[in-house]
Chains A and B, each alone.
Chain A
Amino acid sequence: MSEFLGYEREDGSIGIRNNVAIISTAPYANDTVKRAADIIENAVPITHPLGRCQTKPDVFQTYRTLLGYGTHPNVYGTVVVAHAGEIVDGDELAEDVAETGRPSESVNIHRQKGVMNGLKATVNAAKDIVQDASNQNRVSADMSKLTFGINCATSDTTSGLCQHKATAGAVWRLIDEHGGRGCFAETPEFFGGENELADRAINDEVRQEILDRVENWNQRLQATGYDVRGAQPTPDNMDGGLTTIEEKSLGALVKSGDGPIQDIIDYGAKIPDASGMYIMDTPGHGAESVTGIGASGAHFMVISTGQGHTLSNALMPTIKITGNPHSAERVPEQTDVDVSEALVGDKTFDWATDQLWDEITDVINGKLTMSEAMGESQFAIHRIGPST
């Protein structure tokens, strides 16, 4: 076991950042959230187009995801902003956040009698929480508390040959040597490798669940009546030499290593406490899969990219690694770790893993990632069914 410096939470989790989240429950509260976050130092706005006129599966998924952000280990406290009465209820969300011991306030624009009063209430609530958060110091914490998220982004043929090997090496180092957790996702990117992946499940139930969820995605895509090529693989994947979704998948799975899979969990669900590797069932759409993994409570994410990508997240720092020497040169501000010397130079994949691990230990102790320094983040909740 090793230690790092993090922020203790009352619910027993440890944060690697001390953010204050301002969360919108519906599109009609987004502007208030963004304006408040512009005014308040270090407040993170969470806005989205969902939360109203959704069917129940989407309501549950949206709520679960927003609660995951409101109670994320990297979050000190939360302000929830609702427009009016919504099926994703702002008061309920704020109460559920408060149950984890975090400062939590609920603002309702209708109840405040308008946008200006709603903005004032949001700003007042957020400024108090931000000031309190600034008074908290990092303390020594055990690395077994950490969850390591993994995602691909603009994969190319170098991904499976190089950078994913370093990513797999680092995530299994956290699991095997430090007792932490890992989580990868993007179920349609298991196509072609699903049997070998399912064989890594810790029991038959999890094995069958993996196969069922992969088949469910294949059926959903077939039901469109179109060839999925163009969406999977994407045009930038194809520019990078990836020809089919199977080729993309077989490369993508390299980043998960070859160790046992504990479970496959729903989109946006919390990752269990037990050490090991988990899968979250998400689309391959990066903004949606990363948002889902963020809601799970993953502390940081390694984005293993081929051609380079701006993909990042508001609350979960993202460390971008590439093994493509042209990408590292072409998009330097989208590359935290360049391990291309392991692909086209004389370095080993163990060296590549060490490079990534060193960056991870810096980031969990407070070093800003490239996308944090650049002020970049996306938030996109995966939707299941129609709006109503």
Chain B
Amino acid sequence: MPDRYVEVVEPEDNVATALRELESGETITVAVGDGERTVEIPEDVQFGHKIAIEDIAAGETITKYGKSIGNATEDIPAGTWVHIHNVESNYGRGDLAGDTETAAVSE
């Protein structure tokens, strides 16, 4: 039986959202479209946070709602917590805009 508290929105997604707290060492089966997938959880994951449901290589697209929500900044093994420490955005990236002069501001 897939865990109803770990939700994959679209079948092409490579992450799932935890709707309960996940504990290190758990084995979880998630529903993915008509099928299902089983992953081991290597670290605790808070309510509302995401896990990878397959191995994701550095640079690969993170897919949720069937669309890109950014790119992996490091290899993310299946079951691992997916968040700001291992994913970056492709929008509003003034830090990457080459021809932009950074405003003189104090940090």
A interface with B by C-beta (< 8 Å): 156-158, 160-161, 188, 191-193, 218, 221-229, 232, 238, 240-241, 243-247, 250-251, 306, 324, 326, 343-344
With both chains docked as a complex, state the minimum distance between the C-beta of B41 and any C-beta of chain A, in angstroms: 15
Chain B residues with Cβ below 8 Å from A229 are 84, 89, 92
- Which of A161, A225, A228, A238 has the most C-beta atoms of chain B within 10 angstroms of its own C-beta? A225
In the complex, A126→B82 CA distance in Å?
Answer: 56
> Are A245 and B67 interface neighbours, CB within 8 A?
no
Partner of B92, one of A238, A243, A245, A251: A245
Partner of B87, one of A224, A244, A344: A244
The answer to whether residues A192 and B50 also contact, given A246-B67, A247-B64, A344-B5 and a CB cut-off of 8 A, is no
Chain B interface, number of residues (Cβ within 8 angstroms): 37
In the complex, A232→B69 CA distance in Å?
Answer: 13
A to B CB contacts below 8 Å, 26 in the list: A161-B17, A191-B92, A192-B91, A193-B65, A193-B67, A221-B91, A222-B97, A222-B100, A225-B94, A225-B101, A225-B102, A238-B84, A240-B48, A241-B46, A241-B48, A241-B50, A241-B83, A243-B83, A244-B90, A246-B69, A246-B90, A247-B64, A250-B65, A251-B65, A306-B48, A344-B20
> Are B83 and A160 interface neighbours, CB within 8 A?
no
Q: Is B103 an interface residue (CB 8 A)?
A: yes
The answer to whether residues A158 and B48 also contact, given A246-B69, A250-B65 and a CB cut-off of 8 A, is yes
A-B contact count (CB 8 A): 116
Partner of B65, one of A160, A223, A243: A160
Q: Is B9 an interface residue (CB 8 A)?
A: yes
Chain B residues with Cβ below 8 Å from A243 are 50, 62, 69-70, 82-84, 87
Chain A residues with Cβ below 8 Å from B46 are 241
With both chains docked as a complex, state the minimum distance between the C-beta of A249 and any C-beta of chain B, in angstroms: 8
Q: Is B95 an interface residue (CB 8 A)?
A: yes
Q: Is B54 an interface residue (CB 8 A)?
A: no
**Which B residues, 1 to 41, have Cβ-Cβ distances below 8 Å to chain A?**
5, 7, 9, 17-20
With both chains docked as a complex, state the minimum distance between the C-beta of A307 and any C-beta of chain B, in angstroms: 9
The answer to whether residues A324 and B70 also contact, given A191-B91, A243-B84 and a CB cut-off of 8 A, is no
Chain A residues with Cβ below 8 Å from B83 are 238, 241, 243
Chain B residues with Cβ below 8 Å from A306 are 48
> Are A161 and B7 interface neighbours, CB within 8 A?
yes
> Are A188 and B92 interface neighbours, CB within 8 A?
yes
> Are B9 and A228 interface neighbours, CB within 8 A?
no
In the complex, A161→B5 CA distance in Å?
Answer: 12
Closest residue to B83 on the A side, CB-wise?
A243
Partner of A326, one of B47, B68, B70, B97: B47
**Which B residues, 44 to 60, have Cβ-Cβ distances below 8 Å to chain A?**
46-50
In the complex, A385→B48 CA distance in Å?
Answer: 37
Chain A residues with Cβ below 8 Å from B20 are 344
> Are A228 and B69 interface neighbours, CB within 8 A?
no
> Are B19 and A343 interface neighbours, CB within 8 A?
yes
> Are A225 and B91 interface neighbours, CB within 8 A?
no
Chain A residues with Cβ below 8 Å from B47 are 241, 326
Chain A residues with Cβ below 8 Å from B18 are 241
Partner of A222, one of B19, B70, B94: B94
Sample of 11 more A-B contacts, CB < 8 Å, known A224-B102, A228-B91, A243-B50: A158-B48, A160-B65, A161-B7, A188-B92, A192-B69, A192-B91, A223-B100, A224-B100, A227-B95, A228-B92, A246-B91
Chain B residues with Cβ below 8 Å from A158 are 19, 48
Closest residue to A242 on the B side, CB-wise?
B48
With both chains docked as a complex, state the minimum distance between the C-beta of B96 and any C-beta of chain A, in angstroms: 8
> Are A192 and B7 interface neighbours, CB within 8 A?
no
With both chains docked as a complex, state the minimum distance between the C-beta of A230 and any C-beta of chain B, in angstroms: 10
Chain B residues with Cβ below 8 Å from A191 are 91-92
The answer to whether residues A221 and B67 also contact, given A241-B48, A241-B49, A241-B83 and a CB cut-off of 8 A, is no
